[in-house]
């Protein structure tokens, strides 16, 4: 049986990396795509500055540009215009290998559909994160991280043997095991039931409190209540930016 997420779970951010600076800065960033003869603008002249250790929720309807924003910060994509800096490093001007290095050592991802490796066990999936980031004692790091998300007892199970919530926790553990100071989560609760979703948000919230900069993309407004800051996108523009209305709520108060 899966173990519950431990309340005393220790965050696993690599302190030395966090100290290197994890600010996220976007200045006049636009992203346009050409689809045949048509140019589609996903983001238009976006300016955004995120401090270290913030828990930021990016809200917006489908097609508003929130995932594009996350991809640009995560160096998966390159801006057509403007400048993206992560931890002081200019992602826009970086070469492909430099962007790969940034993904190895600065940012980590949690995907909506988990994207676990079916050929690796839960523990090995988590170890993957630590291995790629080049962390010493990758195995031990993976074990403690997996225990941190309450899945020590499921370490040797393969993804197809885990429930959706367990798979997402493994995915988060994989991202955390990198020890990278910026965590980017794209609809992390999108495929989960309410209880599991809340548990996952609690886990992410704790990482932010421990010093990780967490950016969560969602269309679920309820999730925004636990954020330090809520950024709302519409048609590629930031239409709102600030703390959640009514102040930050504890995770236990969420319901949807």
Partner 1 sequence: MRTRGLLLRWALRDLRRRWVLVTAIALVLALGTGTYAALLGTSDWRRASNDRSFELLRMHDVRVTLSEGLTAEAGTLAAAVGRIPQAAQVQAVAERLILPTLVDVSSAGQQVLVPGRIVGMPVDAPVDRLSVSSGQGLRAGDPAVVLERSFADYYDLPDAGTLRVAGDRSLSYAGHGQLPEYFAIAGGGGGAFTTEAGFGVVFAPLETAQALADAPGRVNEVVLRLASGADDGAVAAALQQELDAEQLASTAVVKGEEIVYRTLYEDIEGDAQFWRIIAGLLLAGAAFATFNLTTRVVESQRREIGVAMALGLPRRQLAIRPLALGVQISVLGVLLGIGVGVVTGRLFGGLFRTLLPLPVWEQPFPYATYLQAAALGFLLPLLGVAWPTWRAIRVEPVEAIRVGHLAARQVRFTPLLRRLALPGRSYSRMPLRNLVRTPRRTVLTSLGVGAAIATLVAVFGILDSFTGTLDDFDAEATRSAPDRVTVQFADVFPEDAPQVAAVTGAPQVGDAATTLLVDGTARSAGEEIPLAVSIRDLGGGLWRPTIDGGGADAARSGIVLSQVAARDLGVQPGDRIELDHPQRTAAGFTRATTTIVVGGIHPGPIRAVAYLDRSQAAAFGTSGLVNALEVTPAAGVSRDELTRALFAVPDVASVQAATAVTDSFRDALGAFTSVLGVAAAVTLLLALLIAFNATSIATDERARENATMFAFGLPRRAVVTMGVVENAFIGLLGTAVGLGLGYLFTRYTVEVQLHRTLPEFGMPASVSPTTVVVALALGVGAVALTPLVTLRSLGRMDIPATLRVVE
Site residues (vs partner 1, CB under 8 A): 67-68, 71, 74, 76-77, 96-97, 100-105, 108-109, 111-121, 124-125, 127-129, 131-133, 138, 142, 156, 158-162, 164, 167, 178, 191
Q: Give the list of residues 6+ apart from residue 252 with CB closer than 8 angstroms, or none.
A: 198
- Minimum Å gap between C-beta 88 and partner 1 is 18
- Minimum Å gap between C-beta 5 and partner 1 is 18
Residue found by looking up tokens 């960033």 in the block: 29
- Minimum Å gap between C-beta 247 and partner 1 is 33
Residue found by looking up tokens 């690599």 in the block: 14
φ and ψ at residue 196, rounded to 5 degrees: -65, -40
Q: Which is nearer to partner 1, 93 or 100 (by Cβ)?
A: 100
Q: Which is nearer to partner 1, 118 or 247 (by Cβ)?
A: 118
Q: Which is nearer to partner 1, 189 or 226 (by Cβ)?
A: 189
Q: Which of 66, 75, 103, 69 is nearest to 190 (CA)?
A: 66
* Cβ 87 vs Cβ 23: under 8 Å: yes
- Minimum Å gap between C-beta 47 and partner 1 is 22
Cα 132–Cα 136–Cα 137 angle in degrees, nearest 5: 105
Q: Which is nearer to partner 1, 67 or 229 (by Cβ)?
A: 67
């Amino acid at each position: 049986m899966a173990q519950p997420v431990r309340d005393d779970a220790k965050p696993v951010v690599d302190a030395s990396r966090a100290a290197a600076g994890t600010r996220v800065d976007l200045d006049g960033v636009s992203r346009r795509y050409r689809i045949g003869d048509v140019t589609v603008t996903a983001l238009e002249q976006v300016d955004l500055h995120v401090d270290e250790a913030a828990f930021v929720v990016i809200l917006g309807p489908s097609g508003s540009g929130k995932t594009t924003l996350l991809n640009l910060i995560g160096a998966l994509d390159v801006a057509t215009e403007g400048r993206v800096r992560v931890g002081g490093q200019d992602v826009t001007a970086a070469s492909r290998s430099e962007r790969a290095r940034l993904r190895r050592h600065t940012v980590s991802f949690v995907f909506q559909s988990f994207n676990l490796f079916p050929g690796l066990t839960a523990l090995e999936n988590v170890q993957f994160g630590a291995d790629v980031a080049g962390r010493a004692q990758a195995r031990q790091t993976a074990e403690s991280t997996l225990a941190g998300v309450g899945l020590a007892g499921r370490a040797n199970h393969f993804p197809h043997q885990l429930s959706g919530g367990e798979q997402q926790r493994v995915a988060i553990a994989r991202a955390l095991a990198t020890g990278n100071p910026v965590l980017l989560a794209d609809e992390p609760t999108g495929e989960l039931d309410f209880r599991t979703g809340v548990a996952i948000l609690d886990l992410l919230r704790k990482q932010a409190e421990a010093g990780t900069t967490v950016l969560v993309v969602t269309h679920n407004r309820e999730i925004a209540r636990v954020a330090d800051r809520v950024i709302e996108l519409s048609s590629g523009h930031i239409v709102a930016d600030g703390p959640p209305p009514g102040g930050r709520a504890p995770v236990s108060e969420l319901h949807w």
